[in-house]
Chain A
Amino acid sequence: MNKIYSHPRALRASSTHYCPGCGHGIAHRLVAEVIDELGIRESVIAVAPVGCAVVAYDYWDFDCSEAAHGRALAVATAIKRVRPRNIVFTYQGDGDLAAIGTNETIHAANRGEKLTVIFINNAIYGMTGGQMAPTTLLQQKTATTPLGRDAALQGYPLKISEMLALLNGVKYVERVSMHSPQEVVKAKKAIKQAFQNQIDGIGFSLVEVISPCPTYWEMPPAQALDWIKNTMLKEFPLGRIK
């Protein structure tokens, strides 16, 4: 009999704390599968975020560091410079990477650090209870935009991937989504490319993953996937940015 499924070696055999319909579990698994397929589990060093994925190191089975909120790319920069032969990546949410850590993100990218970044964009702060993220859509209601995000008061959804693509130090940027099995397959391909780039010494590579948060979008999981497809992707179109 052909074995068509097995648990990734890089993923611990534990259940996660994520809400039903959350995208983090899928994204963790994609990263783990890619690491297995590239045979790099024993040389990977991950930097986990602050946010819903704060205990990512409880789910992955390879070396991992925490970082203060927003500082993952400063921490990762140093790890990679000290250990250039290891494969170093950060896994960060939108608040972490594009609000409190914008400075660290831009400068690590601009220095062309040979890092891989998995950027989870779910347009909301999940861990703290559904507040506005830098990527929250206009009119989107959150705990801190109860009337919906108003451009006059809160500005516009921040397109940090497009901004980063302008920098010479950045070699690869792609936006992918989790809203259908087909898109998940594409997401995995992009994540693999971003790791392969580091193996090849190419430079800063980032994959933005549009990910559902049914709990704080206040909709059932299936509807959250539809909302990505019909609403969120209009603001954050998929595809290779650089």
Chain B
Amino acid sequence: MTGDCAMTKRILMTGNEAIAAGALQAGCRFYAGYPITPQNELIAYMAKYMPQAGGVFIQAESELAAINMVFGASAAGARAMTSSSSPGMSLKQEGISYIAGAELPAVIVNMMRGGPGLGNIAPSQSDYFQATRCGHGDYHSIVLAPATVHEAYYGMRDAFDLADKYRTPVIVLGDGMLGQMMEPLELTQAAAESSEYKKDWALSGCAGRPANVVKSFYLHEGKLEEFNLLLQKKYKRIKEKEQRAESILTDDAEIILVAYGSMARIAKTAVKTLRAQGVKAGLIRPISLWPFPEAVFKKLAAGRKKRSLLVVEMSYGQMIEDVRLSIGDRFPVEFLGRGGGGVPSEKEIIVKVKHLTGKKSHR
């Protein structure tokens, strides 16, 4: 154990920096991005440390250029990533669709801010739909939602591995709060080695093999449908194997909060307070937003216990649609949310829970 301690370094880092550092640790060797608040610490970290890691850093002329650079870098076989925030993500949707269509691995970070339009630079979860419902065409991105700086750092390996394993875009969905908040992070020198994925499809020059083509274009009749059926098979595999969620005190819970990312931290605090006050509250924190962790909810629905659910979001209700689809009519599903940079507080959650459970609220 003492040996392990000697290998561990404890540092203070913002979520944005942790994502960048985690990406480099996970073997990311290409980054292109365009400045936008609140993710600027990420691009600055990459500018400083990517060249030291022997990789390529490019400040692109736009989000469109950045995501298409990621397309090119990935086509050439590199672990490639870009990052942005909500308005910039809208611009990246074009490229993400092409990445999905060309079956390229890529990681795209979105530190969400308030909208619509230019909105503001306060934390928000208003891009859940944009991330999980995607751009043009019948495709999906895997969407991961870290809640802590620790998870932001160590989750990047998962993000890149999933991208390579399934040759698909992976979106890391955070918000301005997670991005700019500093937390202690324990860096272990003996980080796990990244899995090696054979990229015999990549473009490297056709020496000693037939030419490779990276494309999403299928003009001949029936070919695009055939390709889409293959994509759907892949999505089915991902749905079966890659659902991720954390359940806290749900076994005996009468009311279960459902929240992801930064919002889940506040919800967790509310659960602890409610428990101390005798309310049997619990929390489900979806970590993969696509695939949505349906299994956890279906298991709840299959149980005998009567419960109610309260979905809490920094939006006016986006994830709640997936919760309702997963749980069906089994339990009442209530909602508490704020948008435009507003964040539901612990107190607001407690008041809402007590209102729902018929318990008197002590303010």
Contact = CB atoms under 8 A, between A and B. Distances in A.
Contact of A67 (B66, B68, B77, B78): B68
Contact of B211 (A64, A66, A67, A103): A64
A52 interface: no
Nearest to A54: B217
A45 B203 contact: yes
A158 interface: no
Interface stretch (A36-44, A133-141, A233-241): A36-44
A48 B219 CA distance: 15
Contact of A103 (B62, B216, B219): B62
A77 B78 CA distance: 13
Nearest to B101: A66
A65 B205 contact: no
Nearest to B80: A78
A75 interface: yes
Contacts of A107: 60-61, 65
A61 B98 contact: no
A63 B216 contact: no
B78 to A, nearest CB: 5
A133 B69 CA distance: 25
Contacts of B78: 78, 82
A160 to B, nearest CB: 16
Contact of A79 (B75, B94, B217): B75
B204 A86 contact: yes
B65 to A, nearest CB: 4
How many A residues touch the partner, as a band? 20 to 34
A63 B72 contact: no
B95 A79 contact: no
A55 B219 contact: yes
B122 interface: no
A74 interface: yes
A27 to B, nearest CB: 19
A75 B217 contact: no
B77 A82 contact: yes
Contacts of B72: 47, 65, 67, 74-79, 82
A65 B203 contact: yes
B216 A81 contact: no
Interface in B58-100: 58, 60-62, 64-66, 68-73, 75-78, 80, 94-95, 98
A74 B205 CA distance: 19
Given A63-B213, A65-B203, A67-B68, A103 B73 contact: no
B71 A78 contact: yes
B56 A82 contact: yes
Interface in B196-212: 203-208, 211-212
A82 B75 CA distance: 10
Chain A at the B interface: mostly helix, strand, loop or mixed?
mixed
Contacts of B30: 78, 81-82
Contact of B206 (A48, A63, A82, A104): A63
Nearest to B75: A65
Nearest to A85: B205
Nearest to A111: B58
B214 interface: yes
A63 B205 CA distance: 6
B73 A78 contact: yes
Given A42-B207, A83-B76, A78 B212 contact: no
B98 A68 contact: yes
Contacts of B219: 55
A66 B217 contact: yes
B30, B205, B206, B219: which has the most chain A beta carbons within 10 Å? B205
B32 interface: yes
A204 interface: no
Contacts of A60: 211
A217 interface: no
B58 A77 contact: yes
B216 A78 contact: no
Contacts of A114: none
A65 B215 contact: yes
B73 A81 contact: yes
A75 B29 CA distance: 16
Given A68-B95, A78-B80, A45 B205 contact: yes
Interface of A: 41-45, 47-48, 54-55, 57, 60-68, 71, 74-79, 81-83, 86, 103-104, 106-107
Given A54-B217, A86-B204, 20 more contacts: A45-B203, A57-B211, A57-B213, A62-B206, A64-B212, A65-B215, A68-B71, A71-B71, A74-B69, A77-B69, A78-B69, A78-B76, A78-B80, A79-B72, A79-B75, A81-B58, A82-B30, A82-B73, A104-B64, A104-B65
The 3 closest A-B pairs by CB, nearest first: A78-B72, A75-B72, A74-B68
